[in-house]
């Protein structure tokens, strides 16, 4: 294995899924300016996530139906006026 290719500044970080509020503590090198008080009483850096394994349809088994036809019609209607 190659030497000195992995970062050395790992630290404990709280990751929070903003879609459902689930948080977990893990080691990371992710840069952040926010902090949060964790369950153990210590303060850790906070990284906000849009989606995690607790909210992703693949892991939850809940599929989200996306109305693509409605979006396309809306787009054509919006820009049809400008094309004329």
Give me the domain span that covers residue 33: 11-83
Domain contains 2: no
> Hey, what are 19's tokens?
């879609």
Provide the phi-psi class of 33: left if phi over 0, else alpha when psi is between -120 and 50, else beta: alpha
Comparing 44 with 6, which gets the higher pLDDT?
44
Domain count, the chain: 1
Kindly report, residue by residue over 21-73, the tens digit of the pLDDT: 889 999 999 999 999 999 999 999 999 988 877 776 665 666 655 556 677 77
Provide the phi-psi class of 21: left if phi over 0, else alpha when psi is between -120 and 50, else beta: left
DSSP-assigned beta bridge partners for residue 22: none
pTM score: 0.63
């Amino acid at each position: 294995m190659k030497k000195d290719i992995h970062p050395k500044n790992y630290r404990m970080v709280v990751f929070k899924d903003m879609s459902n509020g689930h948080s977990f503590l893990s080691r990371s090198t992710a840069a952040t300016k926010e902090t949060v008080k964790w369950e153990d009483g210590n303060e850790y850096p906070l990284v906000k996530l849009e989606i995690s394994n607790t909210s992703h349809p693949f892991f939850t088994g809940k599929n989200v139906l996306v109305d693509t036809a409605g979006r396309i019609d809306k787009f054509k209607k919006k820009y049809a006026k400008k094309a004329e």
